[in-house]
């Protein structure tokens, strides 16, 4: 069975040791840590290691690497340049996550220009990463104006041409953008480097209408042997604010635990 992990950012700013304990209680084996450069990476690596959780990937902070304004773009790239060293200091075999600026849903200049800028920026990030895997996360149209489908992700990979660049599809985002998420995963094939999941309502696995059985079968068919990273949100408005009021962290922990149970019941 594959390792199952979770994204640490969903618990907001609570102490990492508390978040790590939640993951362990849920029966998880892995974590995708938020790339908060204010955290001591050595200490963060130790905390999750002591909890029995491997840091398998890093969620990037907000950084606009496709903006036509060079100053804004270089500030975003400066974050990623620091992130590469920060990830190395974690002491885990973690993938570096990458995506456009979340909540920028239209180009400032033109789509063509910004797609070209994005490819140039991602190429630089991959170069800085050296032999470490970079995974580009495919978001939906309500979060990004760039790379919203696996097909668009594959085009980006071809354009960049970096051997360490792979795709990160997410069941929740695919629920919005892909006519057939399982087929999209099959199309991604060996170029998929990580997989996120939450149900169609961003809830626990089984809370919505996503056909996870077909997606898991597709992952098996393409030989994906990486972890499954569960990334739910507590019920409530404002998808860009994890804090949904009193007790939201406990609700998220319960959602993670239920997701693990359902994934294991499906034989994964």
Which of 32, 114, 137, 143 is flagged as catalytic? 137
The number of angstroms, rounded, from the C-alpha of 245 to the middle of its chain's C-alpha atoms is: 24
Helix, coil or strand: residue 6: strand
Burial 50-80 (b: 16+ CB within 10 A, else e): ebebbbbbbbbbebbbbbeeeebbeebbebb
Instruction: Indicate if 14 belongs to the active site.
Output: no
Structure tokens at 165: 């660049």
Structure tokens at 186: 């099959």
User: How far, in Å, CA of 139 to CA of 37, rounded?
Assistant: 23
Instruction: Indicate if 177 belongs to the active site.
Output: no
Burial classification of residue 24, based on how many CB atoms lie within 10 Å of its CB (0-12 exposed, 13-18 middle, 19 or more buried): middle
Contact (CB, 8 A) for 150 and 187: yes
Helix, coil or strand: residue 195: strand
Which of 32, 177, 178, 231 is flagged as catalytic? 231
Structure tokens at 239: 């998808």
User: How far, in Å, CA of 76 to CA of 71, rounded?
Assistant: 9
Q: Which residues are identified as catalytic? A: 137, 231
């Amino acid at each position: 069975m594959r390792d199952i992990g979770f994204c640490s950012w969903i618990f907001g700013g609570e102490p990492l040791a508390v978040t790590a304990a939640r993951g362990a209680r849920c029966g998880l084996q892995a974590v995708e840590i938020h790339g908060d450069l204010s955290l001591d990476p050595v200490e963060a690596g130790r905390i999750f290691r002591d909890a029995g959780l491997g840091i398998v990937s890093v969620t990037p902070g907000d950084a606009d690497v496709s903006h036509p304004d060079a100053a804004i773009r270089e500030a975003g790239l400066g974050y990623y340049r620091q992130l590469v060293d920060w990830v190395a200091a974690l002491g885990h075999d973690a993938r570096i996550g990458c995506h456009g600026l979340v909540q920028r849903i239209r180009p400032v200049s033109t789509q063509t220009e910004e797609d070209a800028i994005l490819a140039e920026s991602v190429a630089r990030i991959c170069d800085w990463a050296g032999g470490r895997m970079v995974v580009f996360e495919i978001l939906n149209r309500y979060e990004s104006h760039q790379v919203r489908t696996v097909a668009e992700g594959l085009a980006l990979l071809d354009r960049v041409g970096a051997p360490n660049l792979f795709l990160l599809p997410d069941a929740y985002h695919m629920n919005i953008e892909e006519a057939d998420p399982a087929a999209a995963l099959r199309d991604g094939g060996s170029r998929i480097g990580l997989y996120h999941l939450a149900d169609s309502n961003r809830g626990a696995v089984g809370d919505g209408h996503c056909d996870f059985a077909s997606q898991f079968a597709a992952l098996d068919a393409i030989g994906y042997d990486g972890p499954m990273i569960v990334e739910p949100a507590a019920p409530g408005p404002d998808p860009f604010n994890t804090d949904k009021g009193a007790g939201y962290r406990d609700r998220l922990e319960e959602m993670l635990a239920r997701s693990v149970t359902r994934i294991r019941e499906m034989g994964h």
